[in-house]
Structure 1
Amino acid sequence: MKIPFDNSYARLPERFFARTSPVRVPEPALIAWNEALSAELNILADPSDTSLLARVFSGNQLPEGADPVAQAYAGHQFGQFVPQLGDGRAVLLGEVVDQHGQRRDIQLKGAGRTPFSRGGDGRAPIGPVLREYLVSEAMHALGVPTTRALAAVRTGESVFRDYAQPGAIITRIAASHIRIGTFQYFAARGDQEALNTLVDHSLARHYPDALPQAPKEMPASMVLLEQVVARQAQLVAHWMSLGFIHGVMNTDNMTISGETIDYGPCAFMEQYDPQTVFSAIDRDGRYAWHNQPRIAQWNLARLAEALLNANDDPSSALPEAERLIGSFMPQYEAAWRQRMGGKLGLHQLDESDDALIQQLLDELYQQQADFTQSFHQLIARRTHAQAPTVVSAQWLSAWLDRLAQADTTVDEQVAVMRQSSPSVIPRNHLVAEVIAAAEDDADYAPFQRLLAVVTAPQHAPEDARLMQPAEPQERVFRTFCGT
């Protein structure tokens, strides 16, 4: 095996991380290997050598060139600031430059205790590993910026949460693992030098063209904030349009790159209800579906506070920071209209269309309709006048009138609707079935079948059940993060 490591983060000052190695596991066994992604990362590996893959991606055998570290960061967890968190069960093996010239992290999650474990075991149960693998790869197939899954390995030992579960490790690929909480970590320590180093590193890695194009008087910290605000506005709008609920939008789970990260208690909404919450630890609904834009802006305000400390005179950058945080909601709303416009067959919406969107959502709520399937009914209705829908004749009439005003054909409208509305999402009950088969019987065939379906989300599967919402007895109301 050859992994072409070039580890820029490990070359930063030592206070950015703790050098640590994965803790060995007794009997590593490969569950899944993402061969297409490995090729994209320029990794040379024989997919038939599952024993070697299991050893490397369990951490039992470090590949040549790896420089393993656990990254330091802080974070607001459910609104409460914790000045030191860090990778308590993850080890960054290193970085590669992929076939597109993009730098990518290779991280083992569930790799054992680190100096940041705070008494935890550093391990991951198989359920959250399979959930993250399925959902992150599904999100990638849906076009959502996201971390990816390269490998999943069973460890051969038990992990104890509410009950004993098989342990597993996921290999996570990310544009980087730099989080809002990474900046908060150094701001809380008054370490201006580290903050400026991190700003420069983040701009060079994620936004190399931003600083040269920014006004000369704009501090680098504010240039970075501007880029992150724009990326997160687009990301959260994409989540919302798919009914995706992250579940744990703490500031340590929000990346500077604009990728979705940390899929612990995530879920896709079925019956439309804007207050939907799945995470078992979100008892007050802080991270409910409808709260996600507001929380994203709140998190970005915490990033702004941290970045102000990168300036010799923080007050001088305050007006610019306030302006940028204030720009989040208009950017989000524009992105939301664009996403919902696609779902309605319209290439462009403006504020005058907000009422049409809201009336549709109100009717879905009243009808307790499935969010994903409701848009497929609209696709059918656009092509067949008698196709059934859950929405009222009044709303349908207003929608069809709006489509008639658009300078596009019916075929073009249907094409954009199909592109914006997946046939398949990783529904909670299907993910639960996969996890149960793996936990109870070490049967990974259901996982592989569901993975194949959710990574081709625009194609209707042969088994129509995979497209349908859960039956009442199948519904899953709570999801868990695995820590």
Structure 2
Amino acid sequence: MKLVPRYTDIGEGFAISDHPAKVAAPQLLLWNEPLAEQFNIQVNADSRASVFSGNEPQAVSAVALGYSGHQFGHFSPRLGDGRAHLLGAISDDKNQLWDVQLKGAGATPFSRGGDGRCALGPAIREYVMSEAMYALGIPTTRCLAVVGSGETVYRNPPQPGAIVTRLASSHIRVGSFQYLATQGDVTSLKNLADLAIQRHYPEINSTGAQRYLDFLAAVISRQVNLVISWMRVGFIHGVMNTDNTLISGET
């Protein structure tokens, strides 16, 4: 699996180098073979649990991303990937780059005292829902694998732990821009906007300030269309905050 580093040149503190924490006894529970074929992911069946638990490093530049968010009416300036590690990006069969992220792979600099782990139930739900959205023709992130950690995640009540391998055309959120804006980092904001335009809105060819106004309008339009698609099938997003809203317009 050939990975390309992502986001490391956006700005200081946006992508912090951090590696997954190993788990005790990884076991492959779900594997999305059609998605693996689409991305030409050739990992030996005996190695998949180790690779997609984070026990067998695949990236020299794994990062946790910073972002802010409006949550339940209040602004939180520093949230970030508290339990996710972005390994890098891979190309699909159309030569488009997609991020590869492990969710539940251990604490990061953004964990705020959390353990960085994910329970098995939510991991399976993400796999099922993302693939259901895809089957319904709704833009969505995808799930490649769910790996049991062989460890207990201490929630209420304690539950088995798991790691989800999530693929997304990017993990740039509305909250990503809020994070850089809070720091007053205009240069990094511009770098991030230019990357988002290049990756998701290549049809924008205006220049100067108009380029970014056109970008904003395009993001709004795509978000509206996404929510309409949800409403058509009766899907309700339970935590529709800016930290959970992708610029790409994916579920």
TM over 0.5: yes
Please tell me the TM-score bracket, short chain as reference: over 0.9
Deviation per CA, 1:265-300, whole angstroms, max 9, x where unpaired? Answer: xxxxxxxxxxxxxxxxxxxxxxxxxxxxxxxxxxxx
Match of 2:25 among 20, 27, 34: 27
The equivalences for 1:36-115 within 5 A come to 36-46=34-44, 49=45, 51-63=46-58, 65-115=59-109
Which residue does the alignment assign to 2:119? Answer: 125
What displacement does 1:78 show? 1.2
Cα distance between partner residues in 2 of 1:217 and 1:120: 42
User: Is the counterpart of residue 197 in structure 1 residue 191 in structure 2?
Assistant: yes
Residue identity in the other structure for 2:51: V
Cα distance between partner residues in 2 of 1:126 and 1:58: 13
What displacement does 1:13 show? 3.2
Cα distance between partner residues in 1 of 2:143 and 2:209: 37
Residues 66, 141 of structure 1: alpha-carbon distance in 2 compared, 3 angstrom cutoff: farther
What displacement does 1:67 show? 1.9
Residue identity in the other structure for 2:138: V
Residues 132, 69 of structure 1: alpha-carbon distance in 2 compared, 3 angstrom cutoff: same
Query: How many equivalent residue pairs?
Result: 251
Bigger Rg over Cα: 1
The equivalences for 1:150-299 within 5 A come to 150-210=144-204, 212=205, 214=206, 216=207, 218-260=209-251
Residues 72, 228 of structure 1: alpha-carbon distance in 2 compared, 3 angstrom cutoff: same
Across the aligned residues of Structure 1 and Structure 2, the Cα RMSD in angstroms comes to 1.3
Q: Does the Cα contact within 8 Å between 1:66 and 1:94 map onto a contact in 2?
A: no
What secondary structure does 2:229 align onto?
A: helix
Q: Does the Cα contact within 8 Å between 2:10 and 2:188 map onto a contact in 1?
A: no
**Structure 1: tracts of 5 or more residues without a match:** 261-483
Cα distance between partner residues in 2 of 1:106 and 1:138: 20
What secondary structure does 2:93 align onto?
A: coil
Cα distance between partner residues in 1 of 2:200 and 2:233: 26
Cα distance between partner residues in 2 of 1:6 and 1:25: 25
What displacement does 1:12 show? 3.1
By relative contact order (CA 8 Å, sep 6+), the higher-ranking structure is 2
What secondary structure does 1:195 align onto?
A: helix
What secondary structure does 1:9 align onto?
A: coil
Cα distance between partner residues in 2 of 1:134 and 1:71: 25
Q: Does the Cα contact within 8 Å between 1:200 and 1:220 map onto a contact in 2?
A: no
Residues 8, 112 of structure 1: alpha-carbon distance in 2 compared, 3 angstrom cutoff: closer
**Structure 2: tracts of 5 or more residues without a match:** none
Q: Percent identity?
A: 52
* TM-score of the two chains, using structure 2 as the length reference: 0.96
Deviation per CA, 1:44-78, whole angstroms, max 9, x where unpaired? Answer: 223xx2x3100000000012x55200001011011
More strand, by proportion: 2
* TM-score of the two chains, using structure 1 as the length reference: 0.51
Residues 66, 35 of structure 1: alpha-carbon distance in 2 compared, 3 angstrom cutoff: farther
What secondary structure does 2:95 align onto?
A: coil
What displacement does 1:8 show? 3.2
What secondary structure does 2:8 align onto?
A: helix
Q: Does the Cα contact within 8 Å between 1:69 and 1:93 map onto a contact in 2?
A: yes
What displacement does 1:121 show? 0.8
Cα distance between partner residues in 2 of 1:33 and 1:171: 10
What displacement does 1:39 show? 1.5
More helix, by proportion: 1
